């Protein structure tokens, strides 16, 4: 089976959670396809050079940035489409209703020459044969905000590289000279991620804040403002496979992610895999059962709650082995096996039913328990 992976054209002009998700999913699918009796090959598609109907199935990552056109084109060619929309969990019935009203008004005012991004996203969700949500919160947002049939939505989370489970703090401490408690924030440097809000929330704690992430040219002034605090240190952007990144997670006392919104942030999973507790925005699709001892959520603008949670984790750090246990099942290979089961169903012309993605199917289903995923370094 040939599976074509697609997203928006400028995807790999930067590096972040979605880029890691796409690369790791492709790599895990290809390892899986090589090790089973059901050959499966996944690859990035260049729509300028390859026709979509040269593939048995198309998997589109992200429902924005014009990707609805990819879903439309594949559907017109009769190629089944799997869509990972990566939608904000903030969508609900009220916001969806307002967006539909706004779309109708926009259409009437422009003679139906202009279409909103909501309408484009809804079109992609309607045409896809299967929709993959990263968590129950995103699934609820897809159903309530975009009126998608729940029967065609499956929930498969992101995975975590093995390097984060085995990370040690020594490399970071030797490289930076930081030996005491500190707060780590990993992600693009910009107002949406809210590094400045974090620094201001911790202003009276005399606590070092280490930032790792890329800054775009238009956000350089924002970074300069953040760096005015004597407690902030920016290490620049690190490749996802850089051992220093994994070591930073392990060395940190707390990882903070007080952004305006997240779907299923890899930075949080990677921090927990390293045994480090997290304080993050409450606008997210991550739902880990019985995780309050290591994962606290607060509004992105609630400095008091953020500061209290960070102080509590520093004063009473949870056992690292227990923190790792929250995410030990999140491997890219397991996720790929569940997704591949659905690929088999769709390519065979059968609708993905409620059992799609589980390990116990008949002989046509790919095993969900392949060999252990080897450690890999991705850039």
Q: Report d(CA 155, CA 299) in Å as an integer.
A: 25
**Domain covering 162-325: architecture:** 3-Layer(aba) Sandwich (3.40)
Give the phi and the psi of residue 61 in degrees, each rounded to 5: -105, 125
* Partner residues linked to 254 by β-bridges: 183
CA distance from start to end of the chain: 27
Q: Give the residue ranges of DSSP H helices in 147-265.
A: 162-165, 170-176, 195-201, 220-226, 243-251
Query: Which of 245, 230, 250, 68 is CA-nearest to residue 167?
Result: 250
Q: Report d(CA 147, CA 67) in Å as an integer.
A: 19
Are 5 and 22 within 8 A, CB to CB? yes
Q: Which residues contact 94 (CB under 8 A, 6 or more apart)?
A: none
Q: Report d(CA 327, CA 273) in Å as an integer.
A: 6
- With vertex at residue 360, the alpha carbon angle to CA 358 and CA 365, rounded to the nearest 5 degrees, is 80
Are 288 and 265 within 8 A, CB to CB? no
Distance of CA 171 to the CA centre of its chain: 26
* Partner residues linked to 3 by β-bridges: 42, 57
Which H, E and C letters describe 287-323, residue by residue?
Answer: CCCCCCCCEEEECCCCHHHHHHHHHHHHHCCCCHHHH
Mean per-residue pLDDT pooled into runs of 10, the chain (379 residues): 94 84 93 80 93 96 94 96 93 96 95 94 97 92 96 93 95 96 96 97 95 95 97 95 97 97 89 97 86 96 97 97 94 92 85 53 38 35
pLDDT computed for residue 36 by the predictor: 67
**Which residue in the block uniquely carries the two structure tokens 């990707």?**
67
Q: Report d(CA 18, CA 11) in Å as an integer.
A: 8
pLDDT computed for residue 353 by the predictor: 54
Q: Report d(CA 155, CA 357) in Å as an integer.
A: 9
**Which residue in the block uniquely carries the two structure tokens 């993905």?**
352
Residues forming CATH 3.40.50.2000 domain(s) in the chain: 2-159+331-347, 162-325
Query: Which of 212, 185, 188 is CA-nearest to residue 199?
Result: 185
pLDDT computed for residue 372 by the predictor: 38
Give the phi and the psi of residue 308 in degrees, each rounded to 5: -65, -45
pLDDT computed for residue 35 by the predictor: 75
| Two tokens, residue 365 | 């289903």
Q: Which residues contact 282 (CB under 8 A, 6 or more apart)?
A: 297, 298, 299, 300
Q: Report d(CA 185, CA 276) in Å as an integer.
A: 12
Are 104 and 52 within 8 A, CB to CB? no
Q: Which residues contact 185 (CB under 8 A, 6 or more apart)?
A: 193, 195, 198, 209, 210, 211, 212, 213, 255, 256, 257
| Domain 2-159+331-347: CATH superfamily, name plus number | Glycogen Phosphorylase B; (3.40.50.2000)
Element (H, E) at 133: strand 130-133
Are 134 and 285 within 8 A, CB to CB? yes
Give burial (CB, 10 Å; 0-12/13-18/19+) of 310. buried
pTM above 0.85, yes or no: no
């Amino acid at each position: 089976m040939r599976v074509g992976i697609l997203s928006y054209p400028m995807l790999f002009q930067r590096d972040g959670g979605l880029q890691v998700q796409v690369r790791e999913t492709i790599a895990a699918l290809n390892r899986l396809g090589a090790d089973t009796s059901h050959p499966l090959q996944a690859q990035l598609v260049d729509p300028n050079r390859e026709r979509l109907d040269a593939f048995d199935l198309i998997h589109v990552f992200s429902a924005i940035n014009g990707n609805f056109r990819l879903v439309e084109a594949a559907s017109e060619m009769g190629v089944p489409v799997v869509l990972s929309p990566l939608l904000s969990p903030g969508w609900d019935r009220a916001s969806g209703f307002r967006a539909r009203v706004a779309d109708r008004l926009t259409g009437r005012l422009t003679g139906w020459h202009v279409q909103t991004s909501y309408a484009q996203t809804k079109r992609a969700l309607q045409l896809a044969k299967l929709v993959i949500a990263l968590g129950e919160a995103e699934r609820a947002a897809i159903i309530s905000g975009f009126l998608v049939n729940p029967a065609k939505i499956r929930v498969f989370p992101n995975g975590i590289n093995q390097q984060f489970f085995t990370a040690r703090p020594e490399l970071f401490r030797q490289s930076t000279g930081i030996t005491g408690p500190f707060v780590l924030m990993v992600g693009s440097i910009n107002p949406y991620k809210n590094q400045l809000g974090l620094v201001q929330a911790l202003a009276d704690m005399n606590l070092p804040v280490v930032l790792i992430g890329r800054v775009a040219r238009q956000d350089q002034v924002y970074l300069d403002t953040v760096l005015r605090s004597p407690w902030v240190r920016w290490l620049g952007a690190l490749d996802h496979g850089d051992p220093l990144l994994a070591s930073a997670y392990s060395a940190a006392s707390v990882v903070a992610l007080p952004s305006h919104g997240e779907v299923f942030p890899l930075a949080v999973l990677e921090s927990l895999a390293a045994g480090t507790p997290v304080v993050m925005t409450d606008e997210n699709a991550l739902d880990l059962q019985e995780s309050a001892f290591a994962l606290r959520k607060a509004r992105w603008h609630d400095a008091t709650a953020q500061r209290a949670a960070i102080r509590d984790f520093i004063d009473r750090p949870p056992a690292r082995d227990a923190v790792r246990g929250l995410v030990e099942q999140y491997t890219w290979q397991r996720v790929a096996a569940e997704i591949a089961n659905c690929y088999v169903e769709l390519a065979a012309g059968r609708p993905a039913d409620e059992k799609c993605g589980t390990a116990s199917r008949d002989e046509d289903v790919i095993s969900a328990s392949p060999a252990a995923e080897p450690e890999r370094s991705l850039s």
